[in-house]
Amino acid sequence: MVRRMRCQRWTLLLFLAGVWTCTPAEDSVKSRLYSHTESVSLPDNTNLAGIIIITIDTLRADVLGTYGHPRIQTPNLSELAEHGVLFQQAMAPSTTTTPSHASLFTSLYLQDHNVYSNFEALGNEPETIAEMLFGRGFATSAIVNMKHLNPEISNLGQGFQHIVRSGFMRKAGPSLDQLVRWLDHIGEQRFFSWVHLADVHTPYQPPPPYDRFYYHGDEKNPEITSLQDIWNFLPSHMSDHPFFLSWLRGIRDLDWVIGQYHGAVTYVDDEIGRLMDALEERELLNKTAIIVTSDHGESLGEHDLYFVHAGLYESTVRVPLIMYFPNSKHHGVVVHDVIETVDVLPTILEYLDLPSPETIRGRSLWPLIEGKAQPPRTAFIEHAGRNLIGLRTERYKYIKHRKTKHLLPSYPFIKGHEELYDLQDDPAELHNIAAQSPEIIREFREELERRTSKKLEYKTGEAKITPEMLDVLQALGYIQ
């Protein structure tokens, strides 16, 4: 295997030179990832060392270079996609951290596990992927970077032997270093590890030089008012919070804030590249399955929503999903079908030749990876607090308001209100065609009735919430 020179090591030089894409010479050097070329149905997992799931909190799909962004550098995720599988239309089950992760690890919808907020805990009855693999001899570890994901609050620690708890939003570099140290500690035992990274969540604070990659102006120029102009669109429990105010103190330019989000994306990508280097040095890279996804996206001005993930629009529910399986003939595969992150669990289990529980909601993605046509999927999405519920097909997005609430100045929830968007003609979801489309609305109502009538309704666990934790959740925009 010939190792190629990494984009990461040239990032600073590219920044100084004003170049925003990887150099052409990169294409002529072989990747360090190995792709098997023999015709087999599933990759051979005989020599599998382990599986790593990385969830990048608040990462929307369209800011990655591999998803088509023309400017933001994410060469390491692109490398994983080139030697793995990229899912173009992966839908999160929720736009809130704990509920979405609970669905990822159990393959259940929110209405099944009943975790609807960051201060609710998963119950003990649903079996998680970590429990399944720990019970089959895998060493298991989790590294989390938000306090509400700590096991005493979320109960997402089920099945994890080793947990690195969150103090407050540890950066990606130290988090992935923790993972490497744990891998060194466990030796040759098969492993399953989850790493949660919070760098792309508010407050966006990428370290230098990433904080200047995508912004070159004077963010404190008194003549600029763009941040002030949108301030009233922010929910007051965020905009009035001392934590939020200290982050943006003196800032005048909205473009600086968005530039910090973009810079954090490139920073995380570089740190994932550094993890890949560490795995390669230990001869683990081509023996380790790597899955990268997110719990939800982020609004950066769409529908006058800023720095929140409160609606069910594409900016918040369409997430990246990249899967790399060593010794696979399926490399450079792009799946365009609508899929859901609840599909990750059964896909892993099939890869390991393990049966899937009968009660899960997801389906294995291997038929799609292998190019086999499958029935069209309708993604099922719920908003925290049971405020909104949505369905997403290849063409349409349907949203129903279940409660009346005024959490967001620009987007009040009105019980009974329906939204319908033709994503083919209106990808930005600007024109609600519900009133003009009674037949389509009827079909979505029927589908929603069918889906909601089949709840599993597991009991939730007990979340140990402190006043300090409530203050943190408020500062992050999760509660009033």
CA pair distance 129, 98, nearest whole angstrom: 15
The pLDDT assigned to 4 comes to: 39
DSSP bridge partners of 142 = 163, 194
Does the pLDDT value for residue 163 go beyond 50?
A: yes
pLDDT band at 169 (very low <50, low <70, confident <90, very high): confident
The two structure tokens encoding residue 395: 């063409």
* For residues 131-149, average pLDDT: 96
Question: What is the separation of C-alpha 117 from the centre of its chain, rounded to a whole number of angstroms?
Answer: 16
Query: Residue 453: how many CA atoms within 13 Å on its side-chain side?
Result: 6
The pLDDT assigned to 240 comes to: 86
CA pair distance 296, 291, nearest whole angstrom: 15
Query: Where is average pLDDT lowest: 234-238, 246-250, 355-359, 389-393?
Result: 234-238
Is the Cα torsion angle 110, 372, 60, 165 positive or negative in sign? Answer: positive
The pLDDT assigned to 167 comes to: 81
Which is more confident, 321 or 24?
Answer: 321
Give the model confidence (pLDDT) of 377-386 as tens digits: 999 999 988 9
pLDDT band at 436 (very low <50, low <70, confident <90, very high): very high
The pLDDT assigned to 475 comes to: 57
Q: Please enumerate in sequence order all residues whose Cβ is within 8 A of that of 190, keeping only pairs 6 or more positions apart, or say none.
A: 48, 49, 50, 137, 138, 139
Does the pLDDT value for residue 24 go beyond 50?
A: no
- Helix axis angle for 254-281 and 172-186, nearest 10°, is 20
The pLDDT assigned to 201 comes to: 95
Q: Which of 59, 149, 146 is nearest to 105 (CA)?
A: 149
Does the pLDDT value for residue 416 go beyond 90?
A: yes
Does the pLDDT value for residue 471 go beyond 70?
A: no
Which is more confident, 22 or 463?
Answer: 463
Query: Where is average pLDDT lowest: 154-158, 207-211, 241-245?
Result: 241-245
- Helix axis angle for 254-281 and 75-82, nearest 10°, is 50
Q: Which residue has the tokens 């051979």?
A: 44
Give the model confidence (pLDDT) of 437-450 as tens digits: 999 999 999 999 99
Count the helices and strands in the chain (H runs, E runs): 16, 15
* For residues 389-418, average pLDDT: 96
Give the model confidence (pLDDT) of 2-21 as tens digits: 233 355 444 554 554 444 44
pLDDT band at 456 (very low <50, low <70, confident <90, very high): very high
Does the pLDDT value for residue 420 go beyond 90?
A: yes
The pLDDT assigned to 102 comes to: 98
Q: Which residue has the tokens 């919430």?
A: 465
Beta-carbon count within 10 A of 18 CB: 7
pLDDT band at 464 (very low <50, low <70, confident <90, very high): confident
The pLDDT assigned to 407 comes to: 86
Give the model confidence (pLDDT) of 291-316 as tens digits: 999 999 999 999 999 999 989 999 99
The pLDDT assigned to 474 comes to: 58
Q: Which of 90, 163, 152 is nearest to 130 (CA)?
A: 163
Q: Which of 95, 407, 480 is nearest to 233 (CA)?
A: 407
Does the pLDDT value for residue 479 go beyond 70?
A: no
Q: Which domains does the chain have, with CATH numbers?
A: 45-379+467-475 (3.40.720.10)
Average pLDDT in the chain: 90
CA pair distance 334, 250, nearest whole angstrom: 44
